[in-house]
Structure 1
Amino acid sequence: MGLMIAVGEGLEEGDTVQHLPYQYKLTPFADQPLDTVLTVADFMDENEWKNSSYREHWCEKNNIYHVLTADISTPNVGHLRFRVTRTDAQEDFSPADKAFVELLIPHFRRAITTFLQLNSSASLGSLYSRAIGRLSIATITIDEHGKVLDKNVFASHILDAEDGLKIIGGKLTAQDNSDNRELKRLIKATFANADGKQTMPEAMSITRPSGEIALGVVIEVIPSLGWAEGKGQNKAVIYIRDAVGKSTTSIEISKKLFGLTPAETALSLQLTNGLSLEEAAEELNIRRNTARAHLRSIFSKTGVRRQTELVRLFLNSVAALGYDDRNSL
């Protein structure tokens, strides 16, 4: 079963573009030579075509009689099945029609290849963005004037809290005046020093009015295309890490990685979030002796001997990458 995109007049429900299921193995045009333009006459005579179940059950109800077909090969992907149809009242496809479609095949192939490459790049970009989010790293994309172009869910959480950073007039702004001047300077310096070449990211800390530990900020220019000219081409990403934010490590992934029980995993994650053993026991509503017993079992299973080692083990593991960030915050 494949997907067919049907374009033209006379389709069911009156649409000019439809996405339909397509059982390509059940058609007489399956497994034809690649990059070759063919018509029904190349597969069977007219009587065979008129009596074929494919024409009777699918073509006839869609007012299709004449079919021109080509399977277009694409590098490293497979092939695209291209079909052009006409009604019984229209003329059959001529040799000139076939020759014209043959001229189009290389252009179709290039267009398909370009689309697949762009789609792959977009998918990879989305994957990397989700990976950064699962590590609890806030990201904000800005232009050279500091205008916010995009942000992830963790950045939205930090900005909504207005505890160190916020958006004023569409621009990223630090609430402390001194920090704001430094932030503007770093943004300007980051873009000024980029000039199309790789540079070291700029960094600073942002004071928080709440008195919590300062936000860590790193600014890095996104490499631009060398042939692009004019203003507005450059963009930068601001990475923000909230040192007091809770870990988003997945409980299920942690259980699988370290072989811990649900209770042991819950305790480990509380310790990873910076709680003491006593605070973790209170948070989980268990006795301290029970928490100590869990901790001894955790040490035995993971091979660590101290709580600090356990925290480092969890923070440096891939457990956070299994977190479902769609339901985060």
Structure 2
Amino acid sequence: MLATEPRVRAAAGLPRRAPPRTPMDAEPRQVGDLLGALYEGALEQPPWHHALRLLQQRLQAAHVSLILRPPTAENAGVMINVGENHDARLSYEKQYFAVDPFVSLKEGEVMTPEELIGQQWLDGPMYQEYLRPQDVRYVLGADVYTADGVECRLRATRRHDSMPFGETDKALFRFVLPHLKRSIQIQSRIDSLECERQMLAGTVNRMLLGVISLAQGGEILEINDEARRILAERDGIWRGPNGLQADNPDDKRELQRLVQRALGHGSGNAGGGMVEAMPISRPSGRARLSVVVKAVPAGDWCDTRKRPAAVIFLRDPDCNTAPPSLDLVRRLLGLTRVESRMALLLTEGYTLDEAAEMMNIRRNTARTHLRSIFCKTGVTRQTMLVRLLLRSVFSLG
């Protein structure tokens, strides 16, 4: 029937019906802007906000929403909205998600609630109690699923005085979906790497190891909390307008030489595996800072002057790592609270007599606790106990 429609219209003297418009019929610049926003959205906070805004304009929609993690009874979920009503979004996250029947669409399909459920959609609580009070009549939706378990819902709405969503609107959704899916996969990978980076950065900070990363040109890219504390003391080393500076002229020259070698500007074999160390004296008379300078190998597929090219590690010997949690030591070694406290005191360098005095117990009682600790941990000497604790995971807790 559809194949013969042009001939029937021609025989009746009717003008040829124009084919439905597709997204590619738009200005190339508009299409490029939308695609660019979709992929750049993986780096935005909140992600894809600009892309949703462009989609809202193209669809002449009242709202466009991307539900990155659907709400549950235990979790509010994650939603990005444009044209939103804040109170309405909270209502959906807390209550109406449970009665929303317009969910779990087949991937790649773009449809309206009437096409999925029928006209009874308009009699349900989702429309009557939630959408209608917001002056929302028409909804268009599609779902995206990724191999790693991400489920996203893309929804657009129009008001009661608007036209229903048509085939051109659905074609735009179909055009967007595969690009949105790829961008979601990119954002998921970026988010995973950022979580891993924050976890490792937190571990390094807890170990009180200062870390300073340098770009290829020598400018400082990032400083962690411990390095910031050391530099703020301005005792031997600090951050000047032209980079790191040292009080001692010899230390300053040596630090600059090692940094230049690590950045690959010096002569010799300053390759990616280059690691150098030096002490930095402090005018206060405190113990010298330990400094390690390491080159960061270049990536195989990326070359940018804003990536770390060298890293400087700083250690302040006068600053001990934060003591591990007493409960953590107790649980991992199976000790009592008193035994755990004694073990920690011995690890901090106190003698058994000093530990007994600090704990306000007799020396014989302390020896009894120490023998119990030896029995439970399998060590036979105090030095072995200290080594066990120093090499354990307690400092990460």
TM-score, normalising length from structure 1? 0.85
- The residue correspondences of 1:74-89 to structure 2 (distance < 5 A) are 74-89=146-161
Unaligned 5+ runs, structure 2: 1-71
Decide whether aligned partners of structure 1 residues 223 and 168 sit closer, same or farther in structure 2, where only a CA change above 3 A counts: same
Give the corresponding residue for 2:108: 35
Give the corresponding residue for 1:110: 182
Stretch moving more, 259-268 or 3-12: 3-12
Residue type matched to 1:123 in 2?
C
- Structure of greater Rg: 2
Partner deviation per Cα, 1:85-126 (whole Å, 9 max, x = no partner)? 111111111122112211110111111111111111111110
Q: Does 1:269 align with 2:341?
A: no
Decide whether aligned partners of structure 1 residues 245 and 311 sit closer, same or farther in structure 2, where only a CA change above 3 A counts: farther
Stretch moving more, 224-233 or 268-277: 224-233
- The residue correspondences of 1:177-326 to structure 2 (distance < 5 A) are 177-192=249-264, 198-225=272-299, 231=305, 233-248=307-322, 249-322=324-397
Work out whether residues 212 and 221 of structure 2, in 8 Å CA contact, stay in contact via their aligned partners in 1: yes
Q: Does 1:70 align with 2:145?
A: no
Matches of 2:270 and 2:308 in 1, distance apart? Answer: 9
Residue type matched to 1:28 in 2?
P
Work out whether residues 196 and 226 of structure 1, in 8 Å CA contact, stay in contact via their aligned partners in 2: no
Greater per-residue strand proportion: 1
Stretch moving more, 193-202 or 157-166: 193-202
Residue type matched to 1:245 in 2?
C
Matches of 2:243 and 2:91 in 1, distance apart? Answer: 42
Matches of 2:82 and 2:307 in 1, distance apart? Answer: 39
Work out whether residues 69 and 83 of structure 1, in 8 Å CA contact, stay in contact via their aligned partners in 2: yes
Decide whether aligned partners of structure 1 residues 232 and 66 sit closer, same or farther in structure 2, where only a CA change above 3 A counts: closer
Stretch moving more, 23-32 or 99-108: 23-32
Q: Identity of counterpart residues, as a percentage?
A: 33
Task: Name the count of aligned residue pairs.
Answer: 319
Matches of 1:69 and 1:45 in 2, distance apart? Answer: 15
State the Cα distance separating 1:316 from its structure 2 match.
0.6
Q: Does 1:127 align with 2:199?
A: yes
Decide whether aligned partners of structure 1 residues 196 and 182 sit closer, same or farther in structure 2, where only a CA change above 3 A counts: closer
Matches of 1:6 and 1:142 in 2, distance apart? Answer: 35
Give the corresponding residue for 1:91: 163
Work out whether residues 247 and 269 of structure 1, in 8 Å CA contact, stay in contact via their aligned partners in 2: no
State the Cα distance separating 1:224 from its structure 2 match.
4.3
Partner deviation per Cα, 1:8-39 (whole Å, 9 max, x = no partner)? 436256x9x98961654521212221221111
State the Cα distance separating 1:133 from its structure 2 match.
1.8
RMSD: 2.9
Decide whether aligned partners of structure 1 residues 289 and 176 sit closer, same or farther in structure 2, where only a CA change above 3 A counts: farther
Stretch moving more, 130-139 or 208-217: 208-217
Unaligned 5+ runs, structure 1: 323-329
Q: Which of 192, 204, 213 is the matching residue for 1:141?
A: 213
Matches of 2:108 and 2:271 in 1, distance apart? Answer: 43
Q: Give the secondary-structure state (helix, strand or coil) at the position aligned to 1:5.
A: strand
Stretch moving more, 257-266 or 288-297: 288-297
Q: Give the secondary-structure state (helix, strand or coil) at the position aligned to 1:187.
A: helix
Give the corresponding residue for 1:26: 99
Work out whether residues 262 and 270 of structure 2, in 8 Å CA contact, stay in contact via their aligned partners in 1: no
Decide whether aligned partners of structure 1 residues 267 and 4 sit closer, same or farther in structure 2, where only a CA change above 3 A counts: closer
Decide whether aligned partners of structure 1 residues 263 and 172 sit closer, same or farther in structure 2, where only a CA change above 3 A counts: farther
Q: Give the secondary-structure state (helix, strand or coil) at the position aligned to 1:38.
A: coil
Residue type matched to 2:180 in 1?
F
Give the corresponding residue for 2:246: 174
Residue type matched to 1:39 in 2?
T
Decide whether aligned partners of structure 1 residues 239 and 6 sit closer, same or farther in structure 2, where only a CA change above 3 A counts: closer
Decide whether aligned partners of structure 1 residues 6 and 299 sit closer, same or farther in structure 2, where only a CA change above 3 A counts: closer
Matches of 1:10 and 1:187 in 2, distance apart? Answer: 51
Stretch moving more, 251-260 or 262-271: 262-271
Partner deviation per Cα, 1:34-62 (whole Å, 9 max, x = no partner)? 2211112312333x122122100111122
